[in-house]
Chain A
């Protein structure tokens, strides 16, 4: 069993389809949704962890893609813009999962481990330099 973090972007027409239900029932996947939202212009976003056999995940992802859902493996919901980060470390105390963390306390530089992020958005309102943003 493996876990993969996925970011779905739903086109206007597909937001009403019970995609998550099918992922659980037909592909035997364990789903953990961190954050989901339908925007004003009726597009949908969802950030979730899927756990299951690698092959089932692949098939599940194919199934979702068939609905025209865009799956971006790199840009997830919360984004840390390294160029804007000053390594002030202010976010460290506000991040509940250590997704934002300091590897080496001699150089005190901050890094972001996307897989650990649970999309709580604490860092977005906190970052004094606008280095943390969200795709939706």
Chain B
């Protein structure tokens, strides 16, 4: 048994033993669970992929004369300004003004909120255009100016839902090509796509939320971020394997972090043809090895994690609940699965390559003493399902 304080003391003195969630598998195999649990202090997990429920609050400071911005566009992408005078919220999936979307199907969605966020983190110049109705104390009614992230007082990423614990594998059983947030799906199940780092993924290494909770310090695109709440749609009550690992979506995290500290390599705008814009983020989560049980859970392998195979041409949009089957990440990562006697080509939407790089970087930061763990202030809910949206005929 170790405590957060003990582990942090070891990190501060550069003595912490840290391994990635990939390395820990063989390590525990070699050393045995007992010995490894005593030796290892932290296991680093990571993921990189589109996380639509992301965005940022920006504060511009005041112009002369002052303005209470009531409508704002950043590089022509509308930003929500129904908050204080010079604060805005820019959502990742917001389309650029005049984007034809799917009017010319499939739309290309080349630029949106996520791309503005990518530009900001990369230090590039962005245009602010703002309008207002004008007040006695805030008389200015129009503004057009250019800024970089350095000119802002704050640029804080606030993401209501990141790091889905597990995710669907998408296929298309129809006879026409479809465009989804999991990429282009060819007819007759010719290809399948998945979106998870599997054995490296944060919540698959802590399936019952024994260490990750509200207040946990995370590596958010290179910045020191935090879990500020359970993520939206957090649904821990779900179908689980005997090892506790969910066999479907399940848990999620709401994350926040300072964009000024982020590394542009891990903040990338995504253009999903026929679907829309999203933001890909790199997230690393350190798992403190407080006891053997926690360590054991981090040794989960791709072959022991399964995801549901779902038809995105019918069952997903119509919400039928039908699952075609279960596939392991080990099978998915070979690039080919067999289903119903058919060979299906598999590719991903998340990047295992980048997830590995993040797990390594976080490991190095902890070893160097640059990243301390934070004990959660509150656990994530462990019993909770997701509600659907009822369409009512009359007001309640």
Taking beta carbons and an 8 Å cutoff, which residues of A are in contact with B?
86-94, 102, 105, 107-110, 125-126, 128-130
In the complex, what residues of B have CB within 8 A of residue A91's CB?
347
Residue on B nearest A109 in the bound complex, by CB: B353
Q: Is the CB of A105 within 8 A of B334?
A: yes
Q: Is the CB of B184 within 8 A of A86?
A: no
Interface of chain B: mostly helix, strand, loop or mixed: strand
In the complex, what residues of B have CB within 8 A of residue A86's CB?
48, 268, 280, 351, 353-354
A102-B335, A129-B268 known; A89+B183 contact, CB < 8 A: no
Contact with A along B277-298 (1 / 0, CB 8 A): 0101000000000000000000
Tell whether B141 is near chain A: CB-to-CB under 8 Å.
no
What are 14 A-B residue pairs whose CB atoms fall within 8 Å in the complex? Answer: A86-B48, A86-B351, A87-B352, A92-B345, A93-B186, A93-B191, A108-B348, A108-B353, A110-B353, A128-B183, A128-B278, A128-B349, A129-B269, A130-B110
- Bound-state CA distance A129–B265 (Å) is 12
- Bound-state CA distance A109–B355 (Å) is 11
Q: Is the CB of A125 within 8 A of B273?
A: yes
Tell whether B270 is near chain A: CB-to-CB under 8 Å.
yes
Residue on B nearest A122 in the bound complex, by CB: B184
Min CB distance A58 to B, Å, is 39
Pairs of residues from A and B, 8 with the lowest C-beta to C-beta distance, nearest first: A87-B353, A108-B352, A93-B191, A93-B345, A93-B347, A92-B347, A109-B353, A128-B270
In the complex, what residues of A have CB within 8 A of residue B272's CB?
128
Q: Is the CB of A88 within 8 A of B335?
A: no
Partner of A88, one of B49, B110, B184: B49
Tell whether B211 is near chain A: CB-to-CB under 8 Å.
no
Min CB distance B121 to A, Å, is 15
Q: Is the CB of A130 within 8 A of B271?
A: yes
Min CB distance B352 to A, Å, is 4
In the complex, what residues of A have CB within 8 A of residue B345's CB?
92-93
In the complex, what residues of A have CB within 8 A of residue B349's CB?
88, 90, 128
- Bound-state CA distance A89–B192 (Å) is 12
Q: Is the CB of A93 within 8 A of B48?
A: no
- Bound-state CA distance A92–B346 (Å) is 8
Within 8 A of A (CB), among B83-124: 108, 110
Contact with A along B25-59 (1 / 0, CB 8 A): 00000000000000000000000111000000000
Min CB distance A80 to B, Å, is 15
Taking beta carbons and an 8 Å cutoff, which residues of B are in contact with A?
48-50, 108, 110, 183-184, 186, 191-193, 268-273, 278, 280, 333-335, 345-354, 356
In the complex, what residues of A have CB within 8 A of residue B271's CB?
128-130
Q: Is the CB of B48 within 8 A of A90?
A: no
Partner of B346, one of A93, A110, A130: A93
- Bound-state CA distance A105–B331 (Å) is 11
Extra A-B contacts (17), CB below 8 Å, given A92-B335, A93-B186, A129-B268: A86-B268, A86-B280, A89-B352, A90-B348, A93-B335, A105-B334, A108-B348, A108-B352, A108-B353, A108-B356, A126-B273, A128-B50, A128-B272, A128-B280, A128-B349, A129-B269, A129-B280
In the complex, what residues of B have CB within 8 A of residue A94's CB?
184, 191, 347
- Bound-state CA distance A82–B51 (Å) is 22
Min CB distance A106 to B, Å, is 9
Partner of B351, one of A87, A92, A93, A125: A87
Min CB distance A53 to B, Å, is 38
In the complex, what residues of B have CB within 8 A of residue A108's CB?
333, 348, 351-353, 356
Q: Is the CB of B333 within 8 A of A105?
A: yes
A102-B335, A108-B333, A129-B270 known; A88+B191 contact, CB < 8 A: no
Q: Is the CB of B351 within 8 A of A89?
A: yes
Most buried by B among A92, A128, A129: A128
A93-B193, A107-B356, A126-B183 known; A88+B350 contact, CB < 8 A: yes
- Bound-state CA distance A37–B48 (Å) is 38
Min CB distance A131 to B, Å, is 10
Min CB distance B117 to A, Å, is 14
In the complex, what residues of A have CB within 8 A of residue B352's CB?
87, 89, 107-108
